[in-house]
Amino acid sequence: MLFEPGSIGSMTVKNRIVRSATYEGFADENGIVDERYVNLYRKLALGGSGLIITGFAYVREDGIVMKGQAGIHSDECIPPLRRAVEEVHSADPEVKIVMQIAHGGRQANPKYTGGVLIAPSPIPDKTMNATPKEMSLDEVKAVIESFIEAAKRVKKAGFDGVQIHAAHGYLLSEFISPYSNRRNDEYGGSTENRARILLEIVHGVKAECGGEWPVLVKLQVDDCVADENRLKTPESAEIAKMVVEAGADAIEVSGGIYESALYGNLIPTRFNITREEDEAYFLPQAVEVKRAIGGTPLILVGGIRSKKVAEEILGKGHADFISMSRPLIREPNLPNKWKDGSSTKSTCISCNQCLSEARKNGLRCAQLAASSS
């Protein structure tokens, strides 16, 4: 099944391999991406992935998480992004490219936001040295509008769709989780209230960008912290169903927040994925979410390294698409290798140094960079 086409809403994807979003570090201080960004996505298109999801782009300046992060907060961001889309479609007209949009919330970097952090509730992240400001209702509405406007820019740049980032402890993830959302208004309390901001964004994007234009959601399935008040899979599966009913065309499941690192190897990008049994660490949660969303496509990410594991997951109907990030940083052409039989497993060693490298020099495999220097 890995190389059979699949559909996400109106979009036909040539195979079931998705390049999952990750931070690139290829933008200037205004969020404008450069030629390295264009080249990265051209290589991925040539490498055989059916669907490419770009790294998270911030929808407002108070949502910047990292230096060099791409922006989609102003029309000035559009021209170089359009060039990247054109290069992808030129490299392989069958490859689809979707942009992920996000707001950092309490995990934004105060160094780049002018010291301001916003969140559903004034609960500090244990890994950050700042307490966020609780958002007023007017500020919540403004953020919703910022996501919708950002999606309109994504469409204007020529992307085949958009992915709304509601995972990994960023702002929308903070709203849907009882761990970080202690509000007592219409955006807090019950599951439906906590999901409201995400549902209104999905509704708004569909209304403004057209019902046929694909809207994907990266959804938190577990906060992965030692607190019983955290978001857990039964509730996230319920939220996934709401998001699909609001109009989302696919759900990509993931988990973990910054604080998860305080509780062992529970971060979204886990270390030492060396055996097949270590792979697909969000599979149990994916099974539960898939049961809730029925025929809506589910994209599974999390330590998948082997063609055999990917095929088994698809064959059993646990997911509709297989998503990878770190293996495709090291080997952008891994899908082609799997297709022609020259490889059955990624050579990625899950060291996570690529993410450190992105903060210093832009996204690349640190091991390959060291061996070539």
- C-alpha span between 309 and 315 (Å, rounded): 10
156 in Cβ contact with 78 (< 8 Å): yes
Residue 259 amino acid letter: E
Contacts of 337 (CB under 8 A, 6+ apart): 331, 343
- C-alpha span between 54 and 3 (Å, rounded): 21
- If one counts every other C-beta atom within 10 angstroms of the C-beta of residue 83, the result is 17
In the structure encoding, which two tokens stand for residue 113, read together? 């936001």
- C-alpha span between 188 and 71 (Å, rounded): 28
C-alpha closest to that of 313 among 345, 282, 271, 347: 282
Terminal alpha carbon distance of the chain: 39
C-alpha closest to that of 338 among 7, 15, 54, 51: 15
Q: C-alpha angle 1/282/332, rounded to 5°?
A: 55
Catalytic residue among 23, 170, 187, 281: 170
CA dihedral 360, 41, 12, 145 (to 10 degrees): 50
- C-alpha span between 128 and 257 (Å, rounded): 12
Residue 253 amino acid letter: V
Question: What phi and psi values does residue 173 have, to the nearest 5 degrees?
Answer: -65, -35
C-alpha closest to that of 91 among 344, 348, 361, 332: 332
258 in catalytic set: no
Give Rg (Cα) of the chain: 19
**What residues are labeled active site?**
170
